[in-house]
Structure 1
Amino acid sequence: MIHGATQNRRLLFFTLYIAYICTGIVSALPGPSLPLLAAHTHVALDIAGWIFTASSFGFMAGVVIAGSLVRRVGPKAIVISGLILMAISTIITPWTHLFPVLVAASFLEGIGFGVLDVSINIIVTLAFPDTLGETLNNLHSSFGAGALLGPLLLSVVLQTLRDMTGAYLVGAFIGVVGVLFLLRQRVPVLPTHEETRQQQTNVRVSMVLRQPLLWLMALQLFLYVGGEVGFGSWIVTAISQSAAITLALAAPWATVFWAGLTAGRILGGQVLKRELLTEVRLLYICAIGAGLSGLVVAFFPTYLVVSFIASGLVGLFAGPLWPGIMAIGSRWFVHALNIASSTLLISAGVSGMILPVTIGFLIAHVGVGWGMAIPALCSLVIILPLSLALWQRGRTLHSAGGTHTMDDTVAQASNTQQTI
């Protein structure tokens, strides 16, 4: 029985790993291929950057949809739906010559990514509670692997086929493979509520959303997305314009960034597994390292060797930040997991909607250095809400009322309702 449960967890992890490889490829391709998409749809580069805003808006919509449906239909169905949506959008993106259709496809891709992120985070929290931080780091390394593979595929197909479509189709194919694997999987689900408990559930939502701690965690993800998505989306364009080289030659800068991100998450998982550092110390080190490395890229984009190495270091240090923040947030709000996950990911979506297009505007109208400084500063500033969140958590634990935390409050409310 124990052996069977272990095998099921391994197979589940492998399936989710495939799903995140798909999201990594699909999410990473629009950045380095943006000039081609702009030319394909006959719009200026800064106008084409609005597809990032459309994707982020879709991401927020997907988060809301997943948060409201996850108890009713289960996270498995939501993951499958997300993969199908991403596959469809990935097929449309390189073929359309109409910019409104490209924006719609980006919005659809964002919805798919949003519902995936919420449901996968819930699945992992329920299936791997004993190794949550380590598992999230290892799982999210597959996103980095996909994001690493995307620009590499793009570079290869551009040099061989002179067309970007093949790279996008690989992402769609992997999404379909993920759906086929997941169909036969057993996936843990959140407990459902009866209609008579809906009023208490609404109270619980209000309780959770009033917690300053939740919004401090949300701010950390807002800043992280500004750093990761902003850098990953614009690094190829920034290097290409600064050093006057082709997109195919500049694509390895995105590749080394995503390679660093993947390596960072794998190393982060091993660091936590071997207890070499605590989650908090790892987050501090990574936020500072990603920020300083990003500033090197912003200041010296024309020094190709320097900017190339620094791009890899940005990824290496940024890698553990997302899974680390999500692990801490999920653990602190485990009794209101769908509400907390949705709130954190909506914050990430807002960041993705605002900051990448802002960076694109600065690159086009002010300069590459000013634009690429934004992701670096976002990474550095993470340490402020992280410190405040830890202070708030410690204050709650050591308050005059005892060790009655938010989790305890929510759990007590649930138990009281069950008694009623």
Structure 2
Amino acid sequence: MNHALEGARQTMTDRQILGMTFVIMLAMGVLSAALGPALDDLAEQTGSSLDMLGAIFTASFGGTMLAQASGGPLNDRFGQRPVMLAGVVLGAVGALGIVLSQTLWLTLASAVIFGMGFGALDVSSNVLIAEVFAARSVPILNLLHVFFGVGSVIGPGIASVTISLWDTALPSLWVGMAVILLPLFGILRLKAGPVRAKGELAPVDVFSYRAPLLWALGVLMMLYVAIEAGLGAWTKTYADRSTSLSEEAAALLTSGFWFALTIGRVAGAVWGGRFQAFTVLGASLVGMLAGAVVLLVGHGNIALTVLAVLIIGVWAGPPFPTAIAIATRLFRSGPGKATGMVVSLASLGAAIFPWLQGVVLEQGGTGAYAVFIGGLTLAMVVLYAEIRRRMAKVPA
């Protein structure tokens, strides 16, 4: 597929760009999802308690949020290549620091650096694909995020194997570091300058940081990522403490969550070509709420806990890429800024809520944790209903 592009002319075809971003998302998924199963090892390595080490998520997503907020405008002005190059370097260096650190403060500092790399790659990859495939952004962005899910399955899977073999999950982070360096050659083939879709979608509105829809989408994604990142981080611990699952099986359940999320994004790629973006988004949020109800009702039951995690995972697939597609469609004059705004607010949720979930799990127990997850999903559905009520006339 050939698209007319404004600005810098890249030396890569659309398929090559898509393949490069697939690898980037794969690496990001491996590193992010492997972090949860490695928490016990990192706590022992740094001499920290598990709830104190939970601040690693706050540090990581704090760095992500900073990079996303600044990376959006930088993408609009300078293009994707320099931002993506910085993302690869920062991501690899930060992950290396996390693995080698012997102190909590250095681990947290490395997590900030890792988060900055993650944020730069995240916003740049999404903007690049949303622009190159502007007319089909909902299904293609969902397909792109399938590879994040694939990496998120691989990471805990590797961790489960290495826990069984060597009683440590840290080798899974080394694998992620190797994968994140693979796209460097492709990124270097992108010429400097922003990629813009030409004449495919007319703007609904000029970009403004004060736009109510932009803030509403950002807050909605803040709650969404709170659940996605929180379950990815704490499913192993929750299942291990609330059921009779072994540590290895609980780690595999984390992998199962990310696998289910990946299946959901495959479904989102199909649904995105058949239904309006807001329809896909709303159905997914209701599905997540249903899974949270099963988690609460099935507390302590192995079968229902596994079922609930998988239900939430499947329906958690489409919301994030679909929201990005909505943002880039509505704000054609500033797709990078719009994407940066939405994903940075999402990262604010990821910086706060996984840490808070760890505190709830440690101080309130597994029952309180299940209630907390239910409250977050209910809040998302209520916010979505309010968005649709107020902005029903805005096409998506």
Would the alpha carbon gap of residues 42 and 298 (structure 1) be closer, same or farther in structure 2, given more than 3 Å must change?
farther
Would the alpha carbon gap of residues 103 and 76 (structure 1) be closer, same or farther in structure 2, given more than 3 Å must change?
same
Structure-1 residue corresponding to 2:235: 235
Whether 1:55 and 2:60 are equivalent positions in the alignment is yes
Distance in 1 of aligned mates of 2:21 and 2:271: 22
Whether 1:175 and 2:173 are equivalent positions in the alignment is no
Structure-2 residue corresponding to 1:223: 223
Structure-2 residue corresponding to 1:119: 124
Cα contact 1:26–1:86 (8 A) shared by 2: no
How far apart are 1:246 and its partner, in Å? 4.3
Structure-2 residue corresponding to 1:267: 267
How far apart are 1:356 and its partner, in Å? 0.9
Unaligned segments of structure 2, at least 5 residues:
5-9, 197-204
How far apart are 1:258 and its partner, in Å? 0.3
Would the alpha carbon gap of residues 73 and 224 (structure 1) be closer, same or farther in structure 2, given more than 3 Å must change?
same
Match of 1:101 among 86, 106, 123: 106
Would the alpha carbon gap of residues 7 and 339 (structure 1) be closer, same or farther in structure 2, given more than 3 Å must change?
closer
Structure-1 residue corresponding to 2:380: 382
Cα contact 2:2–2:14 (8 A) shared by 1: no
Whether 1:145 and 2:143 are equivalent positions in the alignment is no
The residue correspondences of 1:16-415 to structure 2 (distance < 5 A) are: 16-185=21-190, 189-190=194-195, 208-243=208-243, 245-273=245-273, 275=274, 277-395=275-393
Distance in 1 of aligned mates of 2:194 and 2:140: 18
Residues 351-398 of structure 1, C-alpha deviations (whole Å, 9 max, x = no match)? 11211111111111111121233333323322333233334334568x
Distance in 2 of aligned mates of 1:173 and 1:288: 37
Unaligned segments of structure 1, at least 5 residues:
192-203, 398-406, 408-420
Would the alpha carbon gap of residues 211 and 6 (structure 1) be closer, same or farther in structure 2, given more than 3 Å must change?
same
How far apart are 1:145 and its partner, in Å? 0.6
Residues 12-59 of structure 1, C-alpha deviations (whole Å, 9 max, x = no match)? 101000000111111111212212211111111111101111011111
Would the alpha carbon gap of residues 179 and 247 (structure 1) be closer, same or farther in structure 2, given more than 3 Å must change?
farther
Would the alpha carbon gap of residues 2 and 145 (structure 1) be closer, same or farther in structure 2, given more than 3 Å must change?
closer
The residue type paired with residue 250 of structure 1 is A
The residue type paired with residue 118 of structure 1 is V
When the two structures are aligned, how many residues end up with a matched partner? Answer: 383
Residues 206-242 of structure 1, C-alpha deviations (whole Å, 9 max, x = no match)? x612221111111111111111111111111111122
Q: Answer with 256-265 or 79-88: which moved more.
A: 79-88
Distance in 2 of aligned mates of 1:77 and 1:152: 33
Would the alpha carbon gap of residues 58 and 3 (structure 1) be closer, same or farther in structure 2, given more than 3 Å must change?
closer
How far apart are 1:88 and its partner, in Å? 1.7
Distance in 2 of aligned mates of 1:340 and 1:133: 15
If the length of structure 2 is used for normalisation, what is the TM-score?
0.90
Indicate the RMSD between aligned Cα atoms, in angstroms. 2.5
Cα contact 1:216–1:388 (8 A) shared by 2: no
Q: Answer with 252-261 or 363-372: which moved more.
A: 363-372
Residues 167-218 of structure 1, C-alpha deviations (whole Å, 9 max, x = no match)? 1111011111122333224687157xxxxxxxxxxxx99x612221111111
Distance in 2 of aligned mates of 1:190 and 1:83: 20
Distance in 1 of aligned mates of 2:118 and 2:346: 12
Comparing both structures, which one devotes a greater share of its residues to helix? 1
